[in-house]
Structure 1
Amino acid sequence: MVRGALWLVQEIREGNTFTKEQIRVAFPRIAQADRRIRDLREFGWVIHPSTEDGSLAAEQLRFVKAGVPVWDPVARGAAKRKKLSAKEVREAMERDDFMCTVCGITGAEPYADDIDETAVLLVSRREVTLPGGDRETMPVTECKRCRAGGDGSPVDTARLIEEIGGLGEADRERLLRWVGQGKRDTVALERAWSAYRRLPAQARADVQRALEG
């Protein structure tokens, strides 16, 4: 796992893609080398497969962001934590009303911009910086699409409150409505943008020409 982390940082670099074949070539005598690299996710490394990033081919993965420096035994030991238990997953989903905490979609519900794709819910850990500066890690329910769109950075509560204070009255009322109903409303423009982001390059060009025309 340590060798895989160094390979990602030094050879692949954040934001770039790689394949399982590249892993096999880089570590020819290491059994299940790809699994060792996937284990980095438990230490805050963000690595997206094609199921979480619609722009990737089936055999590709994207190295989004490095996490805990696992080559440092002290840092690795301090950060190591066991996987969520089935009970913790169930309790998190029940608390979140079996909905994605980002977009509000429920499990197996079709996305508004793609009736052929249905939501898959996951429970992952999210780090939150509290107003006093303390950090807390909590399990939250997210759909695969929203999880793929996140950058893994902590949520800063104090900064969020400050940004809310800068909103106009209409936006504050809309946000309050979302908070009250436990999910975000979407508009046609947002759905169109979400669908556009998932198109291949040629299809994006067709859409752009239609807009310009």
Structure 2
Amino acid sequence: MTLPAWNDPELKAGTMVRGALWLIQVVGEGNTFNKEQIREAFPGISQADRRIRDLRDYGWVMLTSAEDATLTAEDQRFEKAGVPVWDPTARRAATPQKAVSNKEKQAVMARDHYMCTICGISGGESYHDDSNQTAVLSVTRRQTILPDGSEATLLVTECKRCRSGSDGRTARVDEALAEIKNLDPGDQRRILRWMERGRRGTTPLERAWNTYRRLPADARDELRSAIRD
């Protein structure tokens, strides 16, 4: 499908739609932009930056310095395009649901121990593979198939990185239940204990490995030599 040009004077679309096209056609995924560039692109349009921020409600991902320490306070990174809002049918189908209230957000985050339910990182914690990025938690809706086959929209805590990398697939309790029932009785009891504690247990081998990985490289070399001897 050929996209309309973001600055086509014949395009009958609002600033949010034009902003989405501008991000794709001018900025490009993975690149940065700032408010001054928005003002230059949309002269005379008040709150154009807010209209572009509204794209987040349609799955568009734009990172700020709060999520990526390599960015300045003025810059944002266009990370990922979401719903093609220039398509009226797609936009209507993805019209954001009623916002989750602050009270609901706090209750969900407290239930999830203020950790991402996908990767387990806590809010404000640096990612182990990228110390420049710190986790920002949000509460999102997840379509979920329950054990009886019914479908429900449930609230979960996710970090922005996991949310942006999500493929949008429906969560399936029935599949998880089937996987657990295929475990032997001992493993079923073990995973139930993990569920009750809210975290996975570790074996002595895993604890020893994690201790080893925390050592400086030279110390790891010394340890390997000591074990071989």
- What amino acid is aligned across from residue 2 of structure 1 in structure 2? V
For 1:9, the equivalent position in structure 2 comes to 24
SS in 1 for 2:69: coil
CA radius of gyration, larger in? 2
Q: Distance in 1 between matches of 2:166 and 2:115?
A: 19
Q: Distance in 2 between matches of 1:29 and 1:129?
A: 47
- What amino acid is aligned across from residue 18 of structure 1 in structure 2? T
Query: 5+ residue gaps in structure 1?
Result: 166-171, 194-206, 208-213
Q: Distance in 1 between matches of 2:27 and 2:193?
A: 43
2:64 paired with 1:54? no
Q: Please list, as runs of the form range in 1=range in 2, the aligned pairs for 1:8-47 lying within 5 A after superposition.
A: 8-13=23-28, 15-20=29-34, 21-47=36-62
For 1:90, the equivalent position in structure 2 comes to 106
Encode CA deviations 1:152-209: one digit per residue, 9 max, x unaligned: 4224657x96xx89xxxxxx9998876554246898999xx9xxxxxxxxxxxxx9xx
2:141 paired with 1:125? yes
Moved more, 2-11 or 56-65: 56-65
Q: 1:173 to 1:119 in 2, by over 3 A?
A: farther
Q: Distance in 2 between matches of 1:5 and 1:119?
A: 25
Q: Distance in 2 between matches of 1:56 and 1:103?
A: 23
RMSD: 4.6
Q: Please list, as runs of the form range in 1=range in 2, the aligned pairs for 1:62-211 lying within 5 A after superposition.
A: 62-80=77-95, 81-106=97-122, 121-126=137-142, 137-142=153-158, 146-148=159-161, 150=163, 151-155=165-169, 157=171, 179=195, 181-183=197-199
1:55, distance to aligned residue in structure 2 (A): 3.1
Aligned pair count reads 188
Query: 5+ residue gaps in structure 2?
Result: 1-15, 181-187, 218-229
Q: Distance in 2 between matches of 1:136 and 1:174?
A: 28
Identical columns (%): 50
Moved more, 174-183 or 17-26: 174-183
1:30, distance to aligned residue in structure 2 (A): 1.2
State the TM-score, normalizing by the size of structure 1: 0.61
State the TM-score, normalizing by the size of structure 2: 0.58
Q: 1:185 to 1:64 in 2, by over 3 A?
A: farther
Q: 1:118 to 1:76 in 2, by over 3 A?
A: closer
Between 1 and 2, higher relative CO (CA 8 Å, sep ≥ 6) is seen in 1
